[in-house]
Amino acid sequence: MASNKGFLRDGLWIKRTQSVYTPAQVSRWLSKIQYPGSVSGFQPDLDSLTHLLRLSAATFPFENTPMHYTPGHSMDISAEGLYERMVEGGGGEGSYCFGLNSLFLQMIRALGFRAYATAGRINRETSWHLEPAFLSVGHMIIFVQPTEGSNETYVLDVGYGPVRPILLEEGAKIMGATPSETYTLVRTARADSSLGETFAARRTELYYLFQNHLQTLGSPQKSNGDSYAAIHTKTLRSLQSLGSCIPSSRTNSSKPISTASTIASWAGARGRSGRTLSAPSTFG
């Protein structure tokens, strides 16, 4: 199988897409997250993307209080609604994954990044060594190709994810919020696949598990004198990419199985919850 280290299937490029936000709105967002720079002087690259991600995560909380404490029990995640609530709002408002990632996606597009969003599913299984147990589609993550002239691809998630983009490559590692927290991207086969173990079936069913390993430093003591066990919190994140020219297991041909068939499944979570995500979407 051809290597796709750091790239989307078949070396796909993400299209440059115009943002829904104006330069004035982007400038206001940069000020909100306390980015030390302006729109006019901004240089899109991996370092600046990482800086934006960390500032956004520190500024906007993951919250859905309007779903619980308003008559309509809903949240406005339109581009205009997100801007008014999170950027113009002064009460530290945030959103849930679709709101947080949607705002970030449109803002980085306005700053010159080639970025694309896809959906995900939460994994109910909290133990890292057990097979994922996915719920229905209900999450959002972002693919970004931050370097001009390169299709090297990174994955980020302002909702549940780490505070740094991670390269779309098996074994890629990044530090989490602290030196004791490590995120690793792992490629594996879907346990729930009904396809056979043919080359084509394996190719279409391979996906990524994003593992977060958090371990305590030292051996702090509980009040009763028992030692804490080392915390091994491995949150799973999966990503499945189906290219538009996947060989058929029946015909062994390279005829495209769809005209726009790049599909991604991503599983992910934050902290000790062990929640993970995965789901389909089409690149455009």
Answer whether residue 223 is part of any domain.
yes
Helix 97-110 and helix 23-32: axis angle, to 10°?
120
Residues 234 and 142 in one domain: yes
Residues 78 and 149 in one domain: no
Residues 172 and 198 in one domain: yes
Last residue of a domain, one of 89, 112, 135: 112
Domain containing residue 143: CATH number: 2.40.128.150
**Local structure of 240: helix, strand or coil:** coil
Angle, CA 140 vertex, CA 159 and CA 200 arms, to 5°: 130
**In b/e form, how buried is each residue of 236-269, taking b as 16+ CB within 10 angstroms?**
bbbbbbbbbebbeeeeeeeeebeeebbbbbbbbb
- Please say whether the beta carbons of 244 and 256 come within 8 A: yes
Residues 104 and 140 in one domain: no
Instruction: State how far the Cα of 69 lies from the Cα of 89, in Å rounded to an integer.
Output: 17
Q: Locate 121 and state its tokens.
A: 């599913």
Instruction: State how far the Cα of 272 lies from the Cα of 129, in Å rounded to an integer.
Output: 14
Output 225-232 pairs: Cβ under 8 A, ≥24 positions apart.
231/272, 232/128
Q: What is the pLDDT along the chain (284 residues), one digit of tens a residue?
A: 345 689 998 999 999 999 999 999 999 999 999 999 999 999 999 999 999 999 999 999 999 888 899 898 888 999 999 999 999 987 889 998 999 999 999 999 999 999 999 877 666 776 667 776 777 677 888 999 999 999 999 999 998 778 999 999 988 998 888 888 887 776 766 555 565 444 443 443 344 444 444 443 433 333 333 322 222 222 223 333 323 222 222 233 332 222 222 223 333 323 223 333 333 332 22
Q: Looking at the DSSP assignment, which residues form a beta bridge with residue 252?
A: none
Q: What pLDDT, on a 0 to 100 scale, did the predictor assign at position 110?
A: 98
Q: How many residues make up the chain in this entry?
A: 284
- Please say whether the beta carbons of 195 and 208 come within 8 A: no
Q: What pLDDT, on a 0 to 100 scale, did the predictor assign at position 176?
A: 83
| Cα maximum dimension of the chain | 65
- Please say whether the beta carbons of 166 and 142 come within 8 A: no
Last residue of a domain, one of 82, 112, 142: 112
Q: What pLDDT, on a 0 to 100 scale, did the predictor assign at position 160?
A: 78
Full residue range of the structural domain in which residue 249 is found:
114-284
Residues 102 and 121 in one domain: no
Residues 108 and 118 in one domain: no
| Distance, C-alpha 95 to centroid of its chain | 16
- Could you count the other beta carbons within 10 Å of the beta carbon of residue 31? 11
- Please say whether the beta carbons of 103 and 82 come within 8 A: yes
| Distance, C-alpha 142 to centroid of its chain | 5
The whole-model pTM stands at 0.68
Residues 135 and 107 in one domain: no
Helix H or strand E encompassing 107: helix 97-110
- CA dihedral over 265, 54, 146, 182, signed as positive or negative: negative
